[in-house]
Structure 1
């Protein structure tokens, strides 16, 4: 599940890095299972400047990754699976000036078709290139992104190779967007965004249901990430997904206004 989740965003950043002139200043670091991404155009956004794959075994590679951020003056966000967070690893992160700042949840379900109807909501999978402007507009408005670099990278990720795009209409109006990708029999639900005026109308529930049914044709499992104990998690659990793993999120003390 972690591979299916990671590869989608990693592939988007790799393609951004390969754009002529690397306009967003993307640098990717990977060594012995530890992965770090840095985006100079978005230094304050932690989900673009992250370290993953951190365990007690990969701790020896952490300082090399951190030096990349230190040279750019960027404070990264570290993600550690709850089952990998040993006292030794926690103490090592604390000694390097990091503190826990949040918890993310990875949910899963067996990929199986389920019945369901959603009054007033129509969901369509878009063909390659179809209705691209509408999809982008709904996705970016739903996320509330205004920074040009952030908007461009979001489009790059959610319209990449192998990414299936879905558009939900509420009473005929474009209301919500979502995507589906797959890796080694695991489908990943992402790109869930709803325009503010259409929230609480069932669009995301309909998109989850449609993608679960589509994933059942080719995959064994479905996975998705969200903030722990969030409204999004509750919505996913109503559609039959359950928590598979929690991830602790760590940030530098200086970036959260505290001192160790």
Structure 2
């Protein structure tokens, strides 16, 4: 990985990569017959509002790209979410907001509820992406569309979701296998699939969008192998930048650092006060 410097242009590119893949993911779910997840999407200037009536989790009901013009748009954004039957969270990038916007959020009953690490690194020439692994014998391969059930099962068990939700995971990801830019991977240990990773490529930027390992196989280098394989694939695809998101100071954060990625910014999450 090459050395790089944080600039406003880099921050914008990193933020946009997350916005692009999440928009494409939500569009794919929305395009399912009769839009069963109740997906709605709306632009407010540079901000993108995502909503789902059937998936109440914050990541599917969030405002991305909410910048320094946010104060003037906030009433309109909240009115739109009320029409969708829900309430959003706002993702705030430090260098792309201002005190007026943050004060407007506070006045509407929002508070900063969390932090998220947005990582980035430039990809060296095609390369020879090297990443130390704590255990040999891990094989990473691309998944095909007919392995969606395997992916859904590993996604559920690896992220702590009930297996009863496996079919929903499969339905919401099936169309991404054939959608441009998406790549799904499985990590195998002794011929047993123990982890999964997903990558989205857009305009020479590769985003590490999801990863999970079965609990009993953690701390054995599975995620390191998945990151290394996706980095190699990104280099082969001609990407110049690799980005990823993780809970701050988490094992995923550290795995990305071991791969040569660095912290680009710490994103703030703003949620509505429970009693407001």
TM-score with structure 2 setting the length: 0.84
Q: Which protein is richer in helix relative to its size?
A: 2
- Unaligned segments of structure 2, at least 5 residues: 1-13
Pair 1:15-2:33 in alignment: no
> Contact (CA 8 Å) 2:152, 2:170: kept in 1 or not?
no
> Contact (CA 8 Å) 2:152, 2:167: kept in 1 or not?
no
Query: How far apart are the structure 1 equivalents of 2:264 and 2:189?
Result: 32
- Of stretches 151-160 and 200-209 in structure 1, the one that deviates more from structure 2 is 151-160
User: Structure 1 residues 65, 13: closer, same or farther in 2, change over 3 A?
Assistant: same
Deviations 1:93-134 (A, max 9, x none): 1111100000111101111232345413111123x4253332
The residue aligned with 2:129 is 114
The residue aligned with 1:245 is 265
Pair 1:60-2:80 in alignment: no
- Of stretches 232-241 and 132-141 in structure 1, the one that deviates more from structure 2 is 132-141
The residue aligned with 2:156 is 140
TM-score with structure 1 setting the length: 0.89
Query: Which secondary structure does the structure 2 equivalent of 1:37 belong to?
Result: strand
Query: How far apart are the structure 1 equivalents of 2:26 and 2:270?
Result: 21
Query: How far apart are the structure 2 equivalents of 1:132 and 1:99?
Result: 38
2:187 to 165, 168, 173: 168
Pair 1:88-2:103 in alignment: no
User: Over aligned residue pairs, what C-alpha RMSD do you find?
Assistant: 2.1
> Contact (CA 8 Å) 1:124, 1:166: kept in 2 or not?
yes
Pair 1:33-2:41 in alignment: no
Summarize the alignment of residues 68-83 of structure 1 with structure 2, pairs less than 5 Å apart.
68-83=80-95
Deviations 1:128-181 (A, max 9, x none): 425333223212221233346852565257535121111101122110001122
User: Structure 1 residues 233, 48: closer, same or farther in 2, change over 3 A?
Assistant: same
Query: Which secondary structure does the structure 2 equivalent of 1:159 belong to?
Result: helix
> Contact (CA 8 Å) 1:41, 1:149: kept in 2 or not?
no
Query: How far apart are the structure 1 equivalents of 2:184 and 2:121?
Result: 20
> Contact (CA 8 Å) 1:12, 1:153: kept in 2 or not?
no
